Structure 1
């Protein structure tokens, strides 16, 4: 009597849901790599080699960073500074606490004044937009800017009174931290 054929067992990726052999053709292959290395190393031997070399690089980077901080005269009582690193090894800079006001002219006569950076001083942007809209009797809204950070767009040219309003309403915002963008240059509002 002939043997009954057994069904083929397919290993599906826990991240994207595709069969593990097809993960490289999916849209989230970078996200799938750690899962594949752990659950299906025989399918992608190059990934395993790459991770082993990357881990060795990370260990050597940590050792170099530790020797640099030890050589800089760091005392044993101080905490080491935590540096936020982005993918690719770039160091993320902290945002400067400053408010930037920019006037954008559209259709040759209509203006929009954008206010960026109020959230760095602990100001809730939705409340700030309501107060700005009431004070200047115009429309104001919180929108995402080109850098994916939220900013306040106020209809009209309110740049003449906005500095006084900001410093009077939110006392944590010093006048020295407010800047205007004029002709592509950052100009202090204190002048």
Structure 2
């Protein structure tokens, strides 16, 4: 009769084991590969703050000295230049993104439907990193009214809220989404043209 304990231990030893992999909170790469993400300094600061043991392993003086000793002088200079270029490129992209957000307008229109019926139409939220569907749902709950996401004639998504809630939406955005500068929120009156009599 064969020994079953040997076959059982052999089966469990060959089964793949789950591994826990740490991902950087800045560039979303494993910390060993942060240098390829372009934001090495920020990645290192994040790692130092949230995972000091991993930071010590990757960025200790001994580790850096050992890594540098394996490179030639020209390779070291090239690596330093490449790192500086990537850092500058990432900083420029971040600056452009913040400038784009700062100049993006959120347009809130009061649209007349029938005689005294109005809807409030909001567009431009996605430029500030907001999801239209999520915001539409929140607006519907906040004002206890119908709220939906539609595409206008230009193909741009906009949120339509039943009722005239323009001023309330401005206040609500300032309160809930503080990332949108108040100067970037604009209210526009949009009346239906009356037919000639």
TM-score by length of 1: 0.46
Q: Higher relative contact order by CA 8 Å / sep ≥ 6: 1 or 2?
A: 2
Higher share of residues assigned helix: 2
